[in-house]
Structure 1
Amino acid sequence: MRIILMMIGLVGLAACSSPSSDQTAGSEARALVEQVYAGFAAGDMDAVTGAMATDIVWNEAEGNPYADNNPYVGPETVLTGLFARLGGEWDGFAAMPQEYVTQGGRVIVFGRYSGTYKATGKSMDAPFAHAWTVEDGKIVAFQQYTDTAEHAAVMSD
């Protein structure tokens, strides 16, 4: 009987506290991820890396030419190993979010990449899905999903 009462209490506690704390965490996580996209669009890399945990694990999609250094661990590695390459190799590279889906500290973003690869002069318009994980107000993980064939085609002669 005691076990049944304890389980009823736990279920009741979860039902009462979980949705609102999940919504709060989701709202905060989404706001942080939105700040990252805004910072990236503005070229404010301090804002972008400032949102990351010191031990963030960042993964580009398998097959993406920039997956060669996966996983990128830590904000400085993401900045110098990935973002600096994007900035140096592309004109007008942009990641434009179109839809956000949140659940707790998980934020999934659907959007499109655009830009012109300098070495080939070819332009890209490719869909993406980004999976962000936020804990304690910082981004701890990122996983990219995209049309890697489109990336490779634009980047090759």
Structure 2
Amino acid sequence: MPTPEKRKIQVNKATEQTDLDYVFAIRREVFVGEQNCPPELEWEFEDESTHFLATINGEPAGAARWRKTDKGYKLERFAVLSKFRGYGVGQALVQAVLDDLPTDADYVYLHGQIQAVPLYDKFGFEKVGDEFEEAGIRHYKMVLKR
């Protein structure tokens, strides 16, 4: 891994099939491989979601998406490959997704894994309600306070 000053994080919307393949491979490795999420829960709402691919020096490193639901705009599937954690990829993904939301996105929420709550706190998300389990992992619903 290059030294920090030579590491270039870039986040782009994933619209080409090649980029989407990277997005899905990253999610498969992180959620299904590392976290033992059932694959059938991982692959839903793909066509109605806006996907993002993060790279470091051009190498696929992380993924995320947003989609419109009946409640508002939900940020989902934030995943960073283990070898790229701790370099700011997660923060870059959250910022890119927030920047991409429509201007009328007045209710923005997510289901944050408990270890990721501090990351989302930095962007103005607040926990709402009690801790809950989703796919065997502890989460909090978090809502963006503007």
Query: Could you say whether these structures have the same fold, taking a TM-score greater than 0.5 normalized by the shorter chain as the test?
Result: no
Q: Calculate the TM-score normalised by the size of structure 2.
A: 0.28
Q: Which has the higher contact order (CA 8 A, sep 6+)?
A: 1
Q: Calculate the TM-score normalised by the size of structure 1.
A: 0.27
Higher normalized helix content (fraction of residues): 1
Structure having the higher Rg: 1
